[in-house]
Amino acid sequence: MEKYIIAIDQGTTGTTVNLINEKGICIEKVNKEFPQIFPKAAWVEHNLDDIWQTVLYGLEFVVQKSNINPKNIVAIGITNQRETVALWDKKTGKSVYNAIVWQCRRTTEYCEKLKKKGLEKTIKAKTGLMLDPYFSASKVNWVLKNVKGVRDKVKKSQLVLGTIDTYLLWKLTQGKSHKTDVSNASRTMLMNIKTGSWDKELLKIFSINENLLPEICASNEVFGVTKNIKGLPDGIPISGIAGDQQAALFGQACFLAGEAKCTFGTGSFILMNTGSELKKSKSGLLTTVAWQLKGKKINYALEGGAFVCGATIQWLRDEMNFVKESPEIEELARTVPDTQGVELVPAFAGLGAPYWKPEARGIICGLTRGTKKAHIARAALEAMALQNVDILKAMEKDLSKSLRSLKVDGGASKNNLLMQMQSDFLGKTIVRPKMIETTSLGAAYLAGLGVGLWKNTKAIKDIWSMDKSFKPAMPASKRKARLELWQSNVKRSF
């Protein structure tokens, strides 16, 4: 009897559900998008029920399309957009307000007030995070302050809160399980990353009641079991949970300190495994929890994220009508040999690591009468790669060692031109795996470990496989000049 794992990858623009076998091969998958809600400039929200419906659709689709016996599904893994957070009613499961998305900048002013109070140092020491609207705590504080009737419901213990993994777990178990894993908890700005527990001082700073919060667990524990989910038998263990970027690091089999990956998604996120060492950055990076396996110490990582990566191509597709489908951007960019001096800095949601400038805004410069769509398309791809160079250089500085190679994944890693640009600008080998949806794969690996489908990480490393590598072809002098020009233009955005 072949055994299967379902991996739910709940992302920013849609949900992907993968059916994965014990060899780590995806048998069936489906992606379902859902609406983005923009109530004001730089505000981003999601309707929780919209998200849940995409999950239900995906679960039903992969089981029916693959024609497997659902009884052969041994586990479910969840990975998710991380800092996005919501509060919902314990009895009805209805949210009191839309989920506030990680990209949302509505709490910028509030975060600045906390900085003026001198709280940034305390928060960073406890969480490893920058005091930025990106993280969950300030978003929860906003809901508590601004949504009518919420405080009364909190006093009456009628509400719970959580990141999207917690919400999906709640729904899959019909409200029986209110838990999260240590990687997601580390992104809320409410967990002390040394202890792996909710921190009373942080809760006080953000005026959040601890009773609202889920229980923190290791990443491959049995969090709960399915109940009353259409098309699935009751009792399937949900035995793996991790934030999307940590799941991708796990899915890339980056189990050793010094191994790194870059996920090209809506944003681009680079994580480098630092093992059990809690490495504090002096270069504008985040210290975060990578994962924790049952009975083991917390595994840490350094992280840098560019808030807008693949979203740049979505913008060129949807708002500027450059292409009809995102993959067409590579063909368009290849019609010109260079950008002809055009630079695009995609600071549409501020700048993340290593700059941390929430007030930054996107710019296009270097335009002439000869500028074509293709030049801007190529500049967009270059920007996606150049943002990552800034982050990786900061990582090398923090660790005082040079990176040998970088593993890549996510939708845009299919773009060979972009991958070659990344190798050229970084001056390192880029390694792409056969399965680029390593976020889902990481969730599946954790879930499989949780129920003993794989004995250990070595068994997982044995089934990971490479598709292609890209080697740098750009001369060092040209690379240096290009990076200097990029950095000068980035500074113009803030």
What are the tens digits of pLDDT across the range 197-241?
999 999 999 999 999 999 999 999 999 999 999 999 999 999 999
Q: What is the mean pLDDT of residues 110-128?
A: 95
Q: How confident is the model at residue 401 (pLDDT cuts 50, 70, 90)?
A: confident
The reported pLDDT for the residue numbered 352 is: 87
Give me the residues paired with residue 163 across strands: 85
Q: How confident is the model at residue 279 (pLDDT cuts 50, 70, 90)?
A: confident
The reported pLDDT for the residue numbered 356 is: 86
Give the integer Cα–Cα distance in Å for 381 and 388.
12
The reported pLDDT for the residue numbered 60 is: 95
Check if the beta carbon of residue 260 is closer than 8 Å to that of residue 104: no
Burial class (CB in 10 A: 0-12, 13-18, 19+), 165: buried
Give the integer Cα–Cα distance in Å for 273 and 279.
10
Give the integer Cα–Cα distance in Å for 31 and 370.
39
Average pLDDT of the chain to the nearest whole number: 94
| Residue 41: CB atoms within 10 Å | 7
| Residue 72: CB atoms within 10 Å | 11
Q: What is the pLDDT of residues 419-436, one digit of tens each?
A: 999 999 999 999 999 988
CA angle 28, 30, 34 (to 5 degrees): 165
Q: What is the pLDDT of residues 96-109, one digit of tens each?
A: 999 999 989 999 99
Check if the beta carbon of residue 76 is closer than 8 Å to that of residue 172: yes
Q: What is the mean pLDDT of residues 34-43?
A: 93
* DSSP codes of every residue in 122-182: HHHHHHS--S-TTSHHHHHHHHHHHSTTHHHHHHTT-EEEEEHHHHHHHHHTTTS--EEEH
* DSSP codes of every residue in 225-271: E--S-TTS-TT-EEEEEEEHHHHHHHHTT--STT-EEEEESSSEEEE
Buried b (16+ CB within 10 A) or exposed e, 101-122: bbbbbbbeebbeebeeeebeeb
The reported pLDDT for the residue numbered 32 is: 95
Q: What is the mean pLDDT of residues 160-164?
A: 97
The reported pLDDT for the residue numbered 454 is: 95
Give the integer Cα–Cα distance in Å for 17 and 35.
18
Share of the chain above pLDDT 70, in %: 100
Whether the per-residue pLDDT at 131 is higher than 90: the answer is: yes
> Tokens for 469?
């590598």
Q: What is the pLDDT of residues 341-389, one digit of tens each?
A: 999 999 998 998 899 898 899 999 999 999 999 999 999 999 999 999 9
Whether the per-residue pLDDT at 290 is higher than 90: the answer is: yes
| Residue 177: CB atoms within 10 Å | 20
Whether the per-residue pLDDT at 170 is higher than 90: the answer is: yes
| pLDDT-wise least confident of 53-62, 271-280, 292-301 | 271-280
The reported pLDDT for the residue numbered 349 is: 85
The reported pLDDT for the residue numbered 190 is: 98
The reported pLDDT for the residue numbered 29 is: 95
Whether the per-residue pLDDT at 257 is higher than 90: the answer is: no
The reported pLDDT for the residue numbered 85 is: 97
Give me the residues paired with residue 45 across strands: 37, 100
Whether the per-residue pLDDT at 181 is higher than 90: the answer is: yes
The reported pLDDT for the residue numbered 240 is: 97
CA angle 129, 204, 288 (to 5 degrees): 20
Check if the beta carbon of residue 161 is closer than 8 Å to that of residue 151: no
Q: Does the domain spanning 4-244 belong to CATH 3.40.50.1970? A: no
Q: How confident is the model at residue 72 (pLDDT cuts 50, 70, 90)?
A: very high
- The alpha carbon of residue 254 and the mean position of all alpha carbons in its chain are separated, in whole angstroms, by 16
CA angle 238, 240, 245 (to 5 degrees): 135
At position 167, the amino acid (one-letter code) is Y
> Tokens for 214?
């889920």
Q: How many CA atoms lie within 13 A of 111 on its CB side?
A: 25
* Sequence ranges of the domains in the chain: 4-244
Give the integer Cα–Cα distance in Å for 61 and 489.
46
What element of type H or E holds 17?
A: strand 14-21
Give me the residues paired with residue 95 across strands: 88
Q: What are phi and psi of 465, to 5 degrees?
A: -140, 145
The reported pLDDT for the residue numbered 62 is: 95
Check if the beta carbon of residue 383 is closer than 8 Å to that of residue 312: yes
